[in-house]
Structure 1
Amino acid sequence: MSDAIAAEKGQLYQVNWERVTIGDALRCSAERWPDSTFVIGDGERVSYTEFDARVDRLASGLLQLGVGHGDKVAVWLSNSPSWVLTWLACCRIGATVVCINTRYKADEVAFILKQSDAKVLVAMPRYWDIDYLGMIDELVPGFEKGRLPTEQFPQLEAILLWKDEQHPGTRSLEQVSAMHFDTRILEAAEAAVKVDDPVVIIYTSGTTGVPKGAMHCHRVLIEGQNIGRAMHMEPGDKVLGHMPLYHVAGSVATLIPTMQCGCAIVLMPQWEPGEALNLIADERINVMGGIPTHFIDLLQQSTKSPRDTTCLKSAWIGGAPVTPKIAMAVKDTLHFDALQAVYGMTETMGMTTLSEFDAPIEVTCENKGKPVGDYEVKVVDPDTGIEKPVGDDGEIWVRGYLLMLGYYQNEEATREAITPEGWFRTGDLGRFDREGYLQITGRAKEMFIVGGSNAYPAEIERFLETHPDVDQAVVCGAPHERLGEVCFAFVMPKSGAVMRPEAIVEYCRGSIADYKVPRRVEIVDDFPRTSTNKIQRYLLQEKVARIAKV
């Protein structure tokens, strides 16, 4: 255990996490709450002590495989003990987990594997109706015969399957964990880990449509402590782990504070309202987070099949505006003590502002919050960088420990996003009020959010334009009662081509993540343009707002 923890192993929120690694943080929790449950999932209930031991065994096995400091381990798993185990084992030896969305298809995964220089891929063979091994075979033909690395993925040396799954050309996580345990090598690897080392890379696209890997380091522990404090998390609390762990909201904003506060995370491999309500009632869940869709689903489910949810204490809600009617119903019907509005993004550890535990529900409805830690947030004129007066709209800029290290292997994008003075340009619009709340008023970027998943028009448009009959495409977010927004595509065919909207939708299915697939397609002869031939997206967005009934 590090001296930093040993010296300050006192009150829950008084530990100084600035010099602590995630591997040390788990050891600290295992010493403070050895027999308390840490992870619940896949039919298991694993204590802090046992999980810490499992992390050691897998970390040692990964070292035996040649995974070391700075290596990238891509994780393509649903929420499970295997996901948590792999991440914490990598953190312990200085390797970096590369998150892969379980809804991604082969081409999307191929880009991430190559761009991230992934040395190892950890995956599920299949899950629900998705054949992950089939996609892996498409990406890495011959892997079953040990033909790694390949020309396309020159860094990829091994494919591991979760749990004890067996398949030719792979090892299981259990097999790796059972390899010779070498305490000396493990301790040496741990000693070499620094708090500024990357622990996770999470991909986000933005306006270019080319995914960028945002890197975060062990300082996520500072954010975790602040989230725990703001949400009144206490040892023994149970936290619903339904937000995807491949997303910053699931890993940094949920798992990390759970571990630091001595809580248990109850994992859900995918969102299912009935199962979620049953877990809340049966496990006596105290803390959760989510997008409005999750809470709307729970309200509807509780009407059909009421359960006792008086155990609920606090929840963060974000990703889309929440109406006063929904917010009041969530708090009153589901019995939350606090419903806290969150604003954040991948590059800022997922939680930039949060409303206070005891803030009036009106604050949540107005999408207001305050910084949860010791970092800077300001509202500026995006062209000059000059700070705006209280009450005036501007672009939100952020600086401090919660900011990403940068985009992996993309210095140009990092320079565009972060000023020389260290300010991150969020691209989002907001204003401060006289009480110090930051209110989010819009998105300067064209991104829209589908049920909590960020969808980037440029990325979807690039794919649509691979269709042999499509000349150009423009994508907008369309309002949707349950999901917040969905994809609306305007498609201009090539000269002489005849297209049907259904054909475009079918072209997308199975090739891009389901939340990116257009819910509605309109075939157009051309787009509204400026005198310089630039497409006037705002006019298309206004049209969508008027006609979308999806």
Structure 2
Amino acid sequence: MNQCINLTIGQQLKNTAVQYPNKAGAIFPAESLRMTYKEIEEKSNIVAKALIALGINKGAHIGIWGPNTSNWMLLLFGATKIGAVIVPLITSYKFKELQYIVNQSEIEFLFSMTQFRETDCELITKKFLNNKNEIDKSTYPSLKNVYYIDENPNHLFGDWNDFLNLASNVSDEELKDYASLIKPDDLYSIQYTSGTTSLPKGAMLTQFGALNTSKACADILHLNSTDICCVPLPFSHCFGNILTIMAGIILACPIVYIDNFTPLKVMNTIQNEKCTVVVGVPTMFIAMLNHPSFHEFDFTSLDTCGLGGSLCPVSIMEQISNAFQLENISIGYGLSETASLCTLTEITEAQYYKFHTVGKAIPGIQIKIVDPITLNEVPVNTQGELLVKGYNVMNGYYNKPEENQNAFTKDGWFRTGDIATVDENGFYKIVGRYKDIIIRGGENISPGEVEKTILTLDNVKDVQIIAVPDSTFVDEIAAFIITNDGNEMDASFIKEYVKTNLASYKRPKYIAFVSEFPTTESGKVQKFKLKEYAIELWNLNSDT
């Protein structure tokens, strides 16, 4: 990696706008909108002024709840110019989830959509009001107001135009004064974890970390200003708002943003915009590969594919590579707490490393594999907990002192909770979550090992292994399986197959066939929901 970028996000955007003023920087097909870097710079300055007019100061928290739109992006840039901290909110949140994060992160202003798919967001945001149609300060002490990020006048709260009109009250000099106070190591966002196992926690990420993690990703993928990148990832996820939005202003390459993912939208965009790069989570690529119209599209412009967000079976990697006719395929590993990236495979690596590992540590950070109890480093090719230290790591969880104590070692290493190995060449493999380890009668079982074995069966499309309560062994093994043809398989055959290939205690006791897994918006499987379903399905004692 070349020298780190020691600029604020606002400074990086301004530099790119000065150097490439008329080059397309952001394309939003759903809005029929193409924005040059000059337009992004000028419009985000207006947003920054409007935020100042609202009384937002450096360090204030603003929530953004909506799909991928130009206004979402402009809010991001406008906020970072004055040191406000964005809190990205997942579009599928219900009121209780939204309520929790608004209070936990102490959001001062919420920018919301009015409607998204079947969700009446306007109705939900009205629940923040008391019977006088004012923000209920007794319940939401930090929240000052709500604005809609679309242009829908005649609503209870102000719309986007109402918000922008506030900018006329702030001069260019005032904006410069605010911007002069911002430093690269200031907070950029409070990025909430997916909540796959517990209530979401807000990871505090810096502007320096966001820019340089994105730069490391772009360098490893060999991207440059001639590329055109298709992004179906939600802005509410750090994969979407860090690795892609930041890449655009670093590389000066056009980014084509999908408002919300469907396979057809992505395939149309790649073809129509002649995209050279597409990034996403494995479930997105699986959906495209399984779409009946997949072979009707022209993907010859594609050169590079980047995957992340969750582990991807080797068979799926092979399918993606073959179907899109791509040699340049890369997969990374990271968490919200690490600005979404810790490791990434070089596109020039041998196919084995691209398909069977998650690559090497990105430049400028440190990773080690340790015994999760003693925290001593383990030998190469030995399973242990992956720890990371560097510019990509969060400053901590917002307002979570106890969790922060558990998340970091005394000498500052972040504990990912993931079980991994590293070989003698520095390539990492992710085995599973330390918390997901199944302890059956005193024997430790990695769900990933059992999943990989079952995935080698011909008709198995995907599988999730979880621990369920058992009166004899404390933990027992349950398998949830999605088949290729949608039909159930012989459960006894699967159990015997696992027993033949692995130690007998790793054989699932319970097997269920499902059509899909419950996932977060970013595509991560919510294993706690599978466990709840298993307890109900097999009438298990959850108090065991």
1:88 has 2:77 as partner: yes
Q: Deviations over 1:406-454 (max 9, x none)?
A: 10111211111011211011110111112210111121123999xxxxx
Select which of 237, 255, 271 maps to 1:247: 237
Q: CA deviation at 1:476?
A: 7.8
- Indicate how the Cα distance of structure 1 residues 319 and 222 shifts in structure 2: closer, same or farther if over 3 A, else same: closer
1:478 has 2:480 as partner: yes
Aligned to 2:394: 404
Aligned to 2:164: 177
Work out the CA distance in 1 between the residues paired with 2:41 and 2:124.
Answer: 33
Q: Does the 8 Å CA contact 1:390/1:431 hold for their aligned counterparts?
A: yes
Q: CA deviation at 1:94?
A: 0.5
Q: CA deviation at 1:308?
A: 1.4
Alignment of 1:94-109 (within 5 A): 94-109=83-98
Q: Deviations over 1:306-363 (max 9, x none)?
A: 2111111222223444344432332232133411121111101111100111112222
Aligned to 1:20: 7
Work out the CA distance in 2 between the residues paired with 1:475 and 1:167.
Answer: 55
Q: Does the 8 Å CA contact 1:223/1:373 hold for their aligned counterparts?
A: no
Alignment of 1:339-358 (within 5 A): 339-358=329-348
1:125 has 2:139 as partner: no
Select which of 369, 373, 381 maps to 2:359: 369
- Indicate how the Cα distance of structure 1 residues 206 and 437 shifts in structure 2: closer, same or farther if over 3 A, else same: same
Work out the CA distance in 2 between the residues paired with 1:481 and 1:250.
Answer: 30
Q: CA deviation at 1:239?
A: 1.4
Work out the CA distance in 2 between the residues paired with 1:479 and 1:230.
Answer: 35
Aligned to 2:440: none
Work out the CA distance in 1 between the residues paired with 2:482 and 2:362.
Answer: 30
Select which of 65, 74, 90 maps to 2:63: 74
Work out the CA distance in 2 between the residues paired with 1:234 and 1:271.
Answer: 25
Percent identity over paired residues = 26
Work out the CA distance in 2 between the residues paired with 1:320 and 1:216.
Answer: 20
Aligned to 1:161: 148
Aligned to 1:150: 137
Structure 1 residues 319-328 or 126-135, which shifts more? Answer: 319-328
Alignment of 1:363-512 (within 5 A): 363-446=353-436, 478-480=480-482
Select which of 35, 56, 71 maps to 1:46: 35
SS at match of 1:187: helix
Structure 1 residues 409-418 or 294-303, which shifts more? Answer: 294-303
1:114 has 2:103 as partner: yes
Aligned to 1:186: 175
SS at match of 1:322: coil
Supply the AA of the counterpart residue of 2:34: R
Structure 1 residues 81-90 or 232-241, which shifts more? Answer: 232-241
Work out the CA distance in 2 between the residues paired with 1:329 and 1:515.
Answer: 21
SS at match of 2:217: helix
- Indicate how the Cα distance of structure 1 residues 415 and 479 shifts in structure 2: closer, same or farther if over 3 A, else same: farther
Aligned to 2:487: none
Work out the CA distance in 1 between the residues paired with 2:195 and 2:99.
Answer: 19
Work out the CA distance in 1 between the residues paired with 2:286 and 2:200.
Answer: 30
Aligned to 1:289: 279
TM-score between both structures, scaled by the size of structure 1: 0.79
Q: Does the 8 Å CA contact 2:128/2:136 hold for their aligned counterparts?
A: no
Supply the AA of the counterpart residue of 1:117: E
Supply the AA of the counterpart residue of 2:58: H
1:313 has 2:303 as partner: yes
SS at match of 1:189: helix
TM-score between both structures, scaled by the size of structure 2: 0.80
Aligned to 1:136: 125
Q: Deviations over 1:75-122 (max 9, x none)?
A: 101111111111111000010011111011000000000111110000
Aligned to 1:201: 190
SS at match of 1:406: coil
SS at match of 1:125: coil
Supply the AA of the counterpart residue of 1:147: E
Supply the AA of the counterpart residue of 1:527: N
Q: CA deviation at 1:211?
A: 2.1
SS at match of 1:31: helix
1:258 has 2:272 as partner: no
Structure 2: 5+ residue stretches without partners: 438-446, 449-463, 470-475, 485-517
1:211 has 2:213 as partner: no
Select which of 279, 297, 301 maps to 2:291: 301
Q: CA deviation at 1:168?
A: 3.4
Work out the CA distance in 2 between the residues paired with 1:525 and 1:323.
Answer: 31
Q: Deviations over 1:464-483 (max 9, x none)?
A: xxxxxxxxxx998834469x
Q: Deviations over 1:487-545 (max 9, x none)?
A: xxxxxxxxxxxxxxxxxxxxx99xxx9975659553455438xxxx7x4xxxxxxxxxx
Aligned to 1:538: none
- Indicate how the Cα distance of structure 1 residues 401 and 304 shifts in structure 2: closer, same or farther if over 3 A, else same: closer
- Indicate how the Cα distance of structure 1 residues 162 and 376 shifts in structure 2: closer, same or farther if over 3 A, else same: same
Structure 1 residues 288-297 or 213-222, which shifts more? Answer: 288-297
SS at match of 1:385: coil
Q: Does the 8 Å CA contact 1:76/1:121 hold for their aligned counterparts?
A: yes
Work out the CA distance in 2 between the residues paired with 1:425 and 1:380.
Answer: 10
Aligned to 1:229: 219
Q: Does the 8 Å CA contact 1:207/1:445 hold for their aligned counterparts?
A: no
Structure 1: 5+ residue stretches without partners: 1-12, 450-454, 462-473, 483-507, 536-550
Work out the CA distance in 1 between the residues paired with 2:401 and 2:149.
Answer: 34
Aligned to 2:50: 61
Aligned to 1:267: 257
Aligned to 2:541: 527
Q: Does the 8 Å CA contact 1:232/1:314 hold for their aligned counterparts?
A: no
Work out the CA distance in 1 between the residues paired with 2:396 and 2:477.
Answer: 28
Work out the CA distance in 2 between the residues paired with 1:65 and 1:321.
Answer: 42
Q: CA deviation at 1:277?
A: 0.5
Q: Deviations over 1:157-210 (max 9, x none)?
A: 111111322243322233322331411111111011122221111112668723
Supply the AA of the counterpart residue of 1:248: C
Work out the CA distance in 2 between the residues paired with 1:115 and 1:88.
Answer: 23
Work out the CA distance in 2 between the residues paired with 1:206 and 1:138.
Answer: 23
Q: Does the 8 Å CA contact 2:91/2:116 hold for their aligned counterparts?
A: no
SS at match of 1:178: helix
Q: CA deviation at 1:368?
A: 2.9
Q: CA deviation at 1:215?
A: 0.7
Select which of 276, 293, 317 maps to 2:266: 276
Q: CA deviation at 1:259?
A: 1.9
Q: Does the 8 Å CA contact 1:54/1:177 hold for their aligned counterparts?
A: no
Q: Does the 8 Å CA contact 2:190/2:203 hold for their aligned counterparts?
A: yes
SS at match of 1:159: strand
- Indicate how the Cα distance of structure 1 residues 338 and 52 shifts in structure 2: closer, same or farther if over 3 A, else same: same
Work out the CA distance in 2 between the residues paired with 1:319 and 1:434.
Answer: 25
Work out the CA distance in 2 between the residues paired with 1:188 and 1:123.
Answer: 28
